[in-house]
Structure 1
């Protein structure tokens, strides 16, 4: 799916390798596993063996030595074949990036090679039922307990924790917080830890990656669970949020491309009154507009990855990429369904079932309203609204 993006030789090889694996399984595999609540272990292992889970992680820890630009290629190409894998964005990308930037060498050696070779997965525990977008107001609390911590609280809308060996948990640090400042600490908590339980959230999303509420009832962790420095978690967690936004942009760019490609193929073949329906501007113009917007979102995503990999401040670019790509993907998917008519709502064509996972990307990991707040306040220097 090159489009306006000009791949270098390395990215072209990555894209071709990802495409071959995706074509081996097909979009129907992803949807069937999503409907049945099944796993995608075979696909995950093939991606791991080909080095596609850790392309952005350091070679010394089992990765490919690349950056976000390489991760974008893999996530985008999988989604362009009808496989928007949330767990890829969460485990190797968000968690892998935070660990790579802030964990001890011992923790990196324990987790990064396993995330890269697919033998372990990690969920990301930030959002809560009451905190919403205000990550400063987390209620889940870690308190010093001997040489470790006891953690209590709950997390909401935590993706794929049922598949994960651990959760990278963000908690308010009781010992470093004051009435005026709520300090955060980050921990790697095993999912089989005593006192940790999960409850599935019933949603309309068709995906192998399900959503869960996580309950933490006096979960005890040792000193080895802490990431970086206690009380410094807010800065640490933001090192994973820009990659998250960039890769959601990639995921949405892939979905948008998948939707437009399916619609264009259908519009060339489907005939009404002896001509292909794609000959009518009522069909062709909306698809052309959808393609333009998808490509613009892809360009924004590629640029945000470039800035991030160069060590520049990528916050504005990452938020813009996430916003542009998610808006474009939803519009493209809707137009693709409309182009297919009634067929757009059948399981056979695999479009309508992607609606809710695409719609989720308009709200998560950061809502479009919060992106607009960020741009208004940071880029335009307008007064804060909150």
Structure 2
């Protein structure tokens, strides 16, 4: 495994860093205040090839991989976006791009990937349900086969990006849970039009990540042609694992970039702020030590995430690394934002200094897209060999 940054990766990072600087902290604060999607930024990323960084060249992408996608997200988060930018890549390049690239038909790849790479087609994914939560195998949304179509019925919750998504990846049961021998069988993936009249969206009011809307989704007798099925009927769970591991990796990249941004804002403030005497507060160990520890935690999370991304690109098992990186990064990024607010005192609570937005947004990712508790369950069971506790 080689973590040396190539010349191509350096050029890519320099390019996206410039875009991040052009759309800096003030841009994101304004979008957050207005609860608006970042259309201008997304368009610029599409024009410059960053949305399709992991899409094969024959479908309009750059033809690189998950490693490069993590680097793009880190730079954008560090440049002012914060953790919300991870959601943008999660929704379209992962839920749409990764799923279709790995498991879609050639026709689906030709139809969707080129437009997606150019920033002209957005996706979302409808997986989570009110009564299933983290137990995705217990979803009750059904897709019933009727000749050349499937009829989908069900309810989803906390589905993000629905307001700007052209396509929705719906996870549904084509065979009831009670009728399969293996609980992972009988789940299928469908690409549908988000604006279909059979789909009703109900926005959820929330604390942060205001640039990405979240909804409860009601699906009533949605007719979907069989050509919109991803891969084979009933095999969707195995496809979904590739998507969910990628989701963890891009989430972690956004968290690392957010932690780096919060840390830098805190350091800049601590160097300049003078209280009681002529010494900047950054000279005091009570300020220095927490920030130094956060720096170490972020570096370790980044290394683990690069390992996960490298394994992903090599098509090797990466679930443990992706989960561990996300666990540590969520803690470190939240600590970074919280400590930055503490360093700034009252100013940290003011929107002018930006930390409050980063702090609000980053808190989500100790829960989503997978909670700390479920990651610890995974490590306990899969890596320590302990009995399943749930």
Same fold by TM-score greater than 0.5? yes
1:81 deviates by 1.5
Asked if the contact 1:35/1:206 (under 8 Å) is kept, the reply is no
State how far apart, in whole Å, the 2-side matches of 1:141 and 1:175 are: 8
Classify the secondary structure of the residue corresponding to 1:82. helix
Counterpart for residue 267 of structure 2: 264
1:193-208 matched pairs, under 5 angstroms: 193-208=196-211
| Structure 2 SS opposite 1:17 | helix
Query: How has the CA–CA distance of structure 1 residues 202 and 175 changed in structure 2, closer, same or farther, with 3 Å as cutoff?
Result: closer
Query: Which residue of structure 1 lines up, in the alignment, with residue 319 of structure 2?
Result: 315
* C-alpha contact 2:143 2:172 (8 A) present in aligned 1: yes
Provide the C-alpha distance between the structure 2 equivalents of 1:284 and 1:356, rounded to a whole number of angstroms: 24
Residue 117 (structure 1) aligns with: 118
8 Å Cα contact 2:126-2:170 kept in structure 1: yes
Following the alignment from structure 2 to structure 1, what is the Cα–Cα distance between the partners of residues 18 and 266? 22
Q: Whole-Å Cα distance in 2 between the matches of residues 201 and 66 of structure 1?
A: 36
1:324 equivalent to 2:328? Answer yes
Q: TM-score, normalised by structure 1?
A: 0.96
- CA distance, structure 2, for counterparts of residue 206 and residue 73 of structure 1: 21
- 3-state secondary structure, aligned to 1:208: coil
Alpha-carbon displacement from aligned partner over 1:266-293 (angstroms, at most 9, x marks no partner):
1111111111100000001111111111
Alignment of 1:340-379 (within 5 A): 340-379=344-383
Gap regions ≥5 residues in structure 2: none
CA distance, structure 2, for counterparts of residue 245 and residue 277 of structure 1: 36
Cα offset for 1:194?
2.5
1:249 counterpart residue number: 252
CA distance in 2, matches of 1:25, 1:12: 20
RMSD: 1.4
Do the aligned partners of 2:24 and 2:80 also contact (CA within 8 Å) in 1? Answer: yes
Give how far 1:12 is off. Answer: 1.2
**What does residue 23 of structure 2 align with?**
25
- 2:216 paired residue number: 213
In the other structure, the counterpart of 1:222 is: 225
Describe the superposition over 1:158-180 as per-residue Cα deviations: whole angstroms up to 9, x where unpaired.
11110000101100113796165
Which segment is superposed worse, 145-154 or 31-40? Answer: 31-40
- SS in structure 1 at match of 2:316: coil
Instruction: Work out whether residues 190 and 230 of structure 2, in 8 Å CA contact, stay in contact via their aligned partners in 1.
Output: yes
Deviations 1:206-232 (A, max 9, x none): 431111111101111111110000011
Indicate if the aligned counterparts of 2:324 and 2:375 stay in contact, CA closer than 8 A.
Answer: yes
Deviation at residue 199 of structure 1 after TM alignment? 0.7
Structure 1 CA distance, aligned partners of 2:258 and 2:314? 27
Instruction: Select between 31-40 and 292-301 the one with higher mean Cα deviation.
Output: 31-40
CA distance in 2, matches of 1:205, 1:342: 20
1:43 corresponding residue in structure 2? 41
Cα distance in 2 for residues equivalent to 1:140 and 1:178: 15
Q: Which residue of 1 aligns with 2:69?
A: 71
| Distance (whole Å) between structure 2 residues aligned to residue 351 and residue 252 of structure 1 | 14
Partner Cα distance (2:379, 2:106) in 1: 36
Q: Deviations over 1:296-347 (max 9, x none)?
A: 1111111110111111100101111111111110011101110111100101
Deviation at residue 82 of structure 1 after TM alignment: 2.2
Distance 1:176 1:325, change over 3 A: closer
Q: Distance in 2 between matches of 1:94 and 1:219?
A: 20
- In the comparison of the two structures, how many residue pairs are matched? 382
Give the conservation status (yes or no) of the 8 Å contact 1:123–1:160.
yes
Which whole-Å CA distance do the structure 2 matches of 1:357 and 1:6 have between them?
Answer: 31
Deviation of the 1:125 alpha carbon: 1.0
Q: Shift of the alpha carbon at 1:45?
A: 0.8
The answer on whether the counterparts of 2:52 and 2:62 sit within 8 Å (CA) in structure 1 is yes
Asked if structure 2 preserves the Cα contact closer than 8 Å seen for 1:177 and 1:231, the reply is no
1:114 offset after TM fit, Å? 1.3
Secondary structure of 1:7's partner? coil
TM-score normalised by L of structure 2:
0.95
Deviation at 1:22, TM superposition (A): 1.1
Give the Cα separation in 2 of the matches to 1:45 and 1:177: 45
